[in-house]
Chains A and B, each alone.
Chain A
Amino acid sequence: MRHHVITATLALAIGASAPLVVHAQSAAEQLQEYRTMLADGNPAELYEMEGEELWVKAMGPKNASLEQCDLGLGAGVVQGAAAQLPRYFADTDKVQDLESRLMTCMETLQGIAQADVIKGSFGRGVRQPMEAVVAYIVGQSKGMPIQVPASHPKEKEMVALGEKIFFLQGGPMDFSCASCHAVDGQRIRMQDLPNLTEKEGAAAGWGNWPAYRVSSGTFWTMQRRLNDCYRQQRMPFPIFGSDVTVALSIYMANKADGGEMNTPGLKR
């Protein structure tokens, strides 16, 4: 119900007639106004609250909770953990983002097979509670500085791979991430595009996802955001939690290092 109201109000704001240039600016400005208005009432909070309960709830074949999950700051430490992801984990010997790390915890603690999570769909099945947990975890880093210096050799390696993948063109439209996200101040239709190759743009992008998406009325994790980027790039389907998604994530997070976490964000 609530998101319908927001959608309708935004549609009015974007559809209102006004002189050309003024209109183009005011859509972005008005969206910013709505973000400010909703700062204390982001619908993502509903997901956060659900996730907080799910974090301590016994689930899965092992009937265990996620409370002992190590998100990088020690077992069970949630506050500030998302601001320092992706990072290298010694137990898996891999660089992991929040969602691939959660898959590890769900498998080891709860007995939920990673393969089942990977083959699922966003917003459904085992992914549904997982996404709420993501909302809870990123909410516990809100307002904190992004700290992804990529000092471990494996983190450095993934940043370097992520950068190359960011610029790698493919598919029938020759697109790469850089086609839309390597220049300041550009738009697709009315949508502003952050320049993810520089700190300010990367912080605006990385620091505001995961987010509640007004247009779809759903909470989108970073994995879902990247998945839809690749869909629009006309590329094949990026496998959930795959190395490419983690490499791109740590490339962005490292560029955004020192910026602010505003998660969960509120998006168009």
Chain B
Amino acid sequence: MKNQMMNRSVVLGSVLLGLSFGVSAQAVDPAVMAIMESSFRTQGIADKSRIYPDEIQALCSDKAVFNSPEGQKKAIALQTAALEAIKPPSDGVYLGDWQAGDKVAKSGRGATWSDQAGAANGGGCYNCHQVTKAEISYGTIGPSLLGYGKLRGNSKEIVEYTWNRINNSKAYNACSNMPRMAHFKLLTEQQMKDVMALLLDPASPVNQ
């Protein structure tokens, strides 16, 4: 009975987070979920349902399962589903304004319980990536993006790949540390276009 309730809660949580993957549910230890349930409460925009992992989060929370043959199979299935769900820009234009993109990249705001609903989120890019030479306060969890466009060019493949990475990094690596910007609506389409320009526009400081 308790398990059933838990499963229902997990499903509900996933729905609330806006997810639906056609892959069977990954079980998280019920003892873990039981103390998660008793230890958290909603505060501001941070709804309690955020404690329930979706398919990708559950898979990536358990290294042993992830590394098993079944886990690897599931990772591929989830990556494929993530890639298929990515939408190209509605007007077909991939690159916006790099200056606006740099502001998005520098802001780490958004989605915490101290943020307001409806306020613009940042991309938080500098938190984990070196992006421009001028900004020396950058994190090292992600790879350096210095010279991103200069090194790769702006072929159709590179442009689409970059768009996909920003939209949903899990499309290429199920357990990438990078947030799924479009999937969870962390960034708007325009903000993602602007970050695209920051990375790929030859005039962007990234490519100087």
Q: Which residues of A contact B (CB under 8 A)?
A: 20, 23-24, 161, 164-165, 167-176, 179-180, 183, 185-191, 231-232, 234-239, 242-245, 247
Contact = CB atoms under 8 A, between A and B. Distances in A.
B202 interface: no
A229 to B, nearest CB: 11
Given A167-B63, A173-B111, A186 B36 contact: no
Contacts of B52: 170
A124 to B, nearest CB: 16
B126 A189 contact: yes
Nearest to A185: B140
Interface of B: 17, 28-29, 31-32, 35-36, 38-43, 46-48, 50-53, 56-58, 60-63, 111-114, 126-128, 133, 136-141, 170, 177, 179-180, 184, 186
A186 B140 contact: yes
A171 B56 CA distance: 12
Given A172-B111, A239-B39, A243-B38, A187 B184 contact: no
A173 B127 CA distance: 13
B188 to A, nearest CB: 14
B17 A172 contact: yes
Contacts of B56: 169, 174
B85 to A, nearest CB: 15
Contacts of A174: 56-57, 60, 170, 177, 179-180
Given A172-B179, A186-B139, A232-B112, A237 B43 contact: yes
Contacts of B51: 170, 235-236
Nearest to B44: A237
A186 to B, nearest CB: 5
Given A164-B29, A234-B46, A235-B51, A189 B40 contact: no
B139 A172 contact: no
A180 B141 contact: yes
Contacts of B28: 168
Contacts of A161: 31-32, 35
